[in-house]
Amino acid sequence: MKTLKLLSWNVNGIRAVHKKGFIDLLLKENADIVCVQETKAHPEQLPEELISINGYQSFFSSSIVKKGYSGVAVYSKPEPIEVKYGFGISKFDDEGRILILDYKDFILFNIYFPNGKMSEERLQYKMDFYDAFLDYADSLLKQGKKILVCGDVNTAHKEIDLARPKENKKTSGFLPIERQWIDKFLSHGFVDTFRMFNDQPGNYTWWDMQTRARERNVGWRIDYFFVSENFKENVKNAFILPEVLGSDHCPVGIEILTDTAI
């Protein structure tokens, strides 16, 4: 068994964060797998140095609904045995929010979950997406698979997970229906890895840039690594990197013990 380090980061535009030193950060952190959300780009729009980073294979899922929207990517040192680009449901897959990588001893989901703030229709889309994801994950659990899920979930789970819970009870991202879905997800056999190691308030992953909330640490914890219960013992650490700038989100990470070869 060896230790693998995984990072997840909503970069709010991979081309923008590239100009702010994304590759240098990736090489400095020396993670084995880096999951990125909200790339806002298709691979053909990216410079070669963002496709072929030394030591990593890259995989991209991009929106076919509109350009400059959504999108996820994975940079991986270990080679997955299979990569899927959705749940097999076009209305969710077409927005480029999903990458599912099978590493044999675990399956990794990198997902940019929808935001529900725009309208009632988008909130319903978000809840439907949540349910489609859970159905897919449940089917894998029934096969005895070990699962890791990372990404921008766009919901703070509990009051401890945002600076101003009372003021945001009617805001998408902290609505009862959204928080209850995370309860349901965990009840199906998943664990919030960060809370395995840290039960303190004040740990956030997203801050409103318009109000300079990051300087005051008025934030939300909406980026997660979850693992299935049958993989919990393999998780050796979970952390947030709030000092990393370049996006309105910061990276989150875990360290796991695995047989996956690099």
- Sign for the pseudo-dihedral over CA of 22, 27, 28, 30: positive
152 catalytically annotated: yes
> 154 and 177 in contact (C-beta within 8 Å)?
no
Write down the catalytic residue from 32, 93, 152, 248. 152
- Which amino acid would we find at residue 109? F
Angle at 229 between CA 132 and CA 173, to 5 degrees: 45
Using only the alpha carbons of the chain, give its radius of gyration.
Answer: 17
The β-bridge partners of 158 are none
**Site of tokens 């590493």:** 103
Nearest to 95 by CA among 134, 119, 61, 128: 61
Catalytic (active-site) positions: 152
